[in-house]
Amino acid sequence: MTQMEGYYYIVMLAAACCMIVTGIILAAVKTPQDEPATKFRIAKHSLTVAVLLLGALNLLQLRLDPGGDMRYLAGSIALAVSYLQAMLFTMAVMVLIKPDEVTSRRLAVHLMAIIAVDAVLLISLFMLPRAVFSYIYVACVLLYIGLLIYYLRWYVNCYRHFVRQLAAYYEEDEIERGLRWLNVIFWAALSVGVLSLLMLLGSREVDMYLTVALVLFYALLAACFINYELSAHIILPVLAMDAANEVAGEENPQHPDRLMAWIERGGYLDTTRSVKEIAAELEMSVGQFRTYFSKVTNEEFRTWRVRKRVEHARWLMREHIDWSVTQIARESGFNDRSYFYQQFLLYTGTSVTDYRRTLMQ
């Protein structure tokens, strides 16, 4: 055995052990047992299976020489597992942001399609001439790339919807701080899917270095997924509200007066109260509040609130030229200064610096 072969076996064995340990840790993580967290538990199980699959693949690669006579079998198995992992990862992430999209039927359709492709790939390996198998193999690789693109578009569309939901429920900067890890989950998973293509090159050196990178990616995914449980108290109420699809219901004659009083006293400047608390103050459900507010103002609450805060900031700049930008942002309901700069430019078409310079002139 050469020195490189020795390194290869050590790295692959260590990676397999790390993946199996990560899968065991994920399986041991306790999740909420209530009804809103049902699909979250399913997602955790899916991610656990995906991690254990990589561990099993690493052990299998120790028995197969990617650069020798068994390179076709090694590449086919790697591609087949990559298909399954792409589906498991995507479904797991989608459950976190839009659980109603992950239905039993959709899971069954994707799983059956992937099993069919994997079956064709492996059967053609043993039953057809190598020349014919090569074309089928290339077609399966291209199909895998198409699957990654499909999952990417699906995620981006659902993530935008998810952010709009949270934006109507919580403060914008709170969302930015609390959910940054969610994007890390998906983009790391997508990177894993793309890097898996390198395993098809049939090189021990590539397999060895790539496996180390994949182990780090999977550990990051597991950490981010566990972090989801820590933020579940923020996310699950929003998902439950969306699933319930609340409607406005009967309109209370006191709603207009209460809403106007809340606006007049500058309630939209208070960053300590969530939409749920504001709705409760006005004796509405969140769904009733959002629907009624849109009907009265012809705007979504989040858009209206940011616009009003920017207008208030402009008024403060005119009335208090000596105030700092930080003080103006805070008094206008913006906890994050960079977010204030961004929204001011978006709603006024000019930067904070240019606007203040104009006032001083």
Q: CATH number, domain at 336?
A: 1.10.10.60
Tell me the torsion sign for CA atoms 24, 93, 234, 336: positive
Contact 184, 159 (CB under 8 A): no
Co-location of 17 and 155 in the same domain: yes
Contact 302, 343 (CB under 8 A): no
pLDDT in tens, 284-305: 777 777 777 777 778 878 788 8
CA distance 51 to 17: 11
| Number of domains making up the chain | 3
Co-location of 175 and 98 in the same domain: yes
CATH number at residue 111: 1.20.1070
**359 Cβ neighbours under 8 A, 6+ residues apart:** 317, 318, 321
Co-location of 217 and 263 in the same domain: no
CA distance 355 to 361: 10
Backbone angles phi, psi at 275, to 5 degrees: -60, -35
Which parts of the chain sit beneath pLDDT 50? 242-250
Which three-class secondary structure state does DSSP give residue 270? Answer: coil
Co-location of 156 and 191 in the same domain: yes
Instruction: Report the amino acid identity of residue 237.
Output: P
Co-location of 197 and 259 in the same domain: no
CA distance 42 to 61: 29
Co-location of 62 and 193 in the same domain: yes
Residue with tokens 């050196």: 205
Of 222, 223, 233, the closest CA to residue 174 belongs to 233
Co-location of 95 and 191 in the same domain: yes
CA distance 146 to 164: 28
Co-location of 85 and 13 in the same domain: yes
Co-location of 283 and 340 in the same domain: no
Instruction: Report the amino acid identity of residue 294.
Output: S
Which residue segment(s) compose the domain that 260 sits in?
246-298
Give the pLDDT of residue 258: 79
Give the pLDDT of residue 49: 77
Burial (Cβ within 10 Å: 0-12, 13-18, ≥19) of residue 276: middle
Angle between helices 38-61 and 3-28 (to 10 degrees): 160
Give the pLDDT of residue 170: 56
Co-location of 178 and 268 in the same domain: no
Contact 253, 153 (CB under 8 A): no
Co-location of 76 and 89 in the same domain: yes
Co-location of 235 and 268 in the same domain: no
pLDDT in tens, 25-42: 777 766 666 555 666 676
